[in-house]
Copies of this chain bind each other. A is one copy, B any other.
Amino acid sequence: MRIRPYNFYAGPAALPIEVLEQAQAEMIDYKGIGMSIMEISHRSKEYEEIHNEAQQLFKELLKLPAGYKVLFLQGGASTQFSMIPMNFLSPGKTGNYVMTGAWADKAIQEARKFGETVIAASGEVNNYMEIPSISDIQVNPQKAAYLHITSNETINGSQFHSFPHMDHVPLIADMSSDILSRPIDASQFALIYAGAQKNLGPSGVTVVILQEEIIRNIPAHLPAMLNYETYTQHNSLFNTPPVYSIYMVNLVLKWIKQHGGLAGLEKRNTEKAKLIYDAIDQSGGFYTGMVKPNSRSLMNITFKVHNEQLEKLLLQKANAEHFIGLEGHRSVGHLRASTYNAVPYEACQALADLMIDFQKRNG
């Protein structure tokens, strides 16, 4: 095997090597049954064990209070962008969104097809390089069906550092890019959703964690697969689930538990990000972070080099030294290091070292 590159892809993204090794070992013969987990019925006891264990681990890691369900869906966060208004945005009510960047915008654009939306706060004035402050979020609790936030914006590299709380307004969060990266108070949220391919596992499964009481008034005649009740009533086994993706997520959840749970990961993720942010902040302007410090993401670190030519040279040097995925999103440019849960400390150390060394030679 070639040396494992420093993988900073924004998603699909690095997985823990221990998880990949276990998946490899079990590929053809899952726990002595002589078959792959991909080859057996989703009603088999072997699969049901994985399904239930993964749900249990979400409950445990997030310390979910009673009354929450963990669901497995397909179609990514993009499908949730439709399901949320279709399930919850009843006539006369409003879907309230905090506009923080490209992903919040996609959620809003989709919701506009199904009902009235309100921008509860927007980071537009700062070109989305700052998360609106909690006190700026305005919601009319008489009209609001829900308040939606995007807890981490992968493209800009911004992240909520605390969450809004409104009496009588269910809070919904797209946590695709920072779920299980830090402890949260899950009881603040009526619904959390996340595509798996950043912090949870491979693409192909979307995790939805919801308070059962919010699905009491779902409209009739929704497409069955876009109705949350289909999943709550059948324990996400109404039809064949994405078995292998859920199997991989379960392995990742066990890995998270072994690494100290969410407190352990937050410590590790904070240390990892600090290495890179320090290289930026101590560069005397050679590097500049894109996002205001109060809104910086622990998951996606966006920055630029003071000189465009040098920036290209740094990227070339990084690619030559087995760093992968450091190009910024095409809509923003510059550089982005995605430092999700499974990205090793050593990779972040190597990137910080590279940045410091590059500055020394070119500063």
Which A residues fall within an 8 A CB radius of B? 1-5, 7, 9-15, 17, 20-21, 23-24, 27-29, 32-36, 38-42, 44, 74-79, 81-83, 86, 110, 113-114, 195, 197, 201-205, 221-226, 238-245, 248, 322, 324-325
Contact = CB atoms under 8 A, between A and B. Distances in A.
Contacts of A226: 82, 223, 226
A223 B86 contact: yes
A180 to B, nearest CB: 17
Contact of A75 (B86, B225, B244, B324): B225
A226 B110 CA distance: 12
B197 A240 contact: yes
A179 to B, nearest CB: 15
29 contacts: A1-B28, A4-B34, A5-B33, A11-B240, A12-B39, A12-B41, A12-B240, A14-B35, A20-B27, A20-B36, A20-B38, A20-B39, A21-B28, A24-B24, A27-B27, A42-B203, A74-B75, A78-B239, A86-B223, A114-B221, A202-B243, A203-B240, A203-B241, A203-B242, A203-B243, A203-B244, A204-B244, A204-B245, A226-B226
Contact of A78 (B21, B38, B225): B225
Contact of A24 (B11, B28, B205): B28
B9 A29 contact: no
A174 B136 CA distance: 51
Chief secondary structure at chain A's binding surface: loop
A40 B202 contact: no
A9 B36 CA distance: 12
A22 to B, nearest CB: 10
A325 B322 CA distance: 46
A5 B24 contact: no
A80 to B, nearest CB: 9
Given A27-B27, A41-B12, A240-B11, A34 B3 contact: yes
A33 B5 CA distance: 8
Contacts of A78: 224-225, 238-239
A243 B242 CA distance: 12
A139 to B, nearest CB: 25
Contacts of A86: 223
A17 B12 contact: no
Q: Which of A29, A38, A221, A239 has the most B CB atoms < 10 Å from its CB?
A: A38
Contacts of A201: 38
Contacts of A76: 74, 225, 239-240
A223 B222 CA distance: 11
Nearest to A86: B223
Nearest to A220: B113
A358 to B, nearest CB: 23
B1 A202 contact: no
Contact of A35 (B7, B114, B204): B7
Given A40-B325, A76-B225, A114-B221, 5 more contacts: A20-B39, A21-B28, A42-B203, A79-B225, A113-B221
Contact of A204 (B13, B82, B242): B242
Given A223-B79, A245-B242, A9 B203 contact: no
